[in-house]
Amino acid sequence: MDLQGKHIVLGLTGGVACYKGADLARELIKAGATVQAVMTASAQRFVTPLLLQSLTGRPVATTQWDTTQPNAMAHINLSREADAILVAPATADFIARLAQGRCDELLSLLCVARPAERCGLFIAPAMNREMWAHPATQRNTQQVQQDGAVVWGPASGSQACGELGDGRMWEPEEIRDALVAHFQPKVLRGRTVLITAGPTFEPLDPVRGLTNRSSGKMGFALARAAAEAGAQVTLVAGPVHLPTPAGVQRLDVESAREMQAAVLPLAAQHDVFIATAAVADWRPVHEAQAKIKKVTGQSSPQLELTENPDVLAAVAALPKPPFCVGFAAETHDLERHARDKLQRKRLQLVVANHGPSTFGRDENQLLLVDAQGTRELPAADKLSLARALVIDLAQRLPPTP
């Protein structure tokens, strides 16, 4: 319920993507928000006000001449009640209206009348690729941004007209997540954060290798939480199949040595390094060039292993290291092993968890260990834990210059 207690005015303008606006209303409500739909006359040609009223549980506002309002000022009432105004889809015509400050229908009127200091305005464009690329649309979009609106998208892909290119409205889940991020406290604004996530894979031959059960979910949740908190985030990911969090720069690697090669040149440029990746401690000395075949009657092949580089220790040993946070996935004696890692690698913080209980799952339970003591973050979903850890981390960092 990331939007619990938030009231969102959702504006729909006339375009095929109106059906996504209806889906978006459902997503916002599922996230805990109350939603007041406002529809332009052209939007009502694509979806009906009855549909949006059914989804939101509120009568849809369609005109500034609404005499049911006690003061006959729908544009004032709607904008004063809102925590955010979200226009999705936003057509080229509507963006032009905002750029020019025109107020000849309810939605543009309430956008102009909003109290900008406490009510954000968010625009999700949706139109044909040529309309989006037109100089007037680009000029108008820049103007509404200069006037304080935030523009999300558009995306690129197939369009209802059969063409391919920029102009698709973001998917409802993407817009929901961006709105959730807007309301998160910006405790890491101006900070740079480098995160490793997932397992590593050490090849034995072209089809087999040494790896572990890490899913990468905790590291990806931390990357999202840090980005939500205002940080510039770089995520170095082992072989996982997870979507990249919005606003995060991602680098994909496979082996421990590849991860070290990606991390070390970047580490000194970041304020914080969070090593959630489960890096393999060993790798085969020799990688077979062809698949190792099983031969009946012969003993199993003998594998000679060598130690992998310790990425976290190497970062902590830099002349000017970032604030280093290590993760410890243990099977027993969490605090003892975490404290040993804290001291041995000269870290500021170690976050311990019970590996077998969390690998691949959406929930976790964390133990924070530093030089002063320990603190527990009780069982919760990984994103909630990541947000709590980000707030804790922000309090540990020295003030920005």
Residues marked active site are found at: 161
Distance CA(80)–CA(61), nearest Å, equals: 15
**CA-wise closest residue to 324 among 303, 301, 302, 341:** 341
* CA 21 distance to own-chain centroid: 21
Report the largest interatomic distance among the alpha carbons of the chain, rounded to a whole angstrom.
Answer: 91
Distance CA(65)–CA(161), nearest Å, equals: 35
- DSSP-based three-state secondary structure for 337: helix
Contact between 338 and 367 (Cβ < 8 Å): yes
Distance CA(8)–CA(215), nearest Å, equals: 34
CA angle 347, 194, 173 (to 5 degrees): 130
The residue whose two tokens read 């995060």 is: 248
Report strand pairing: 272-275 vs 323-330: parallel
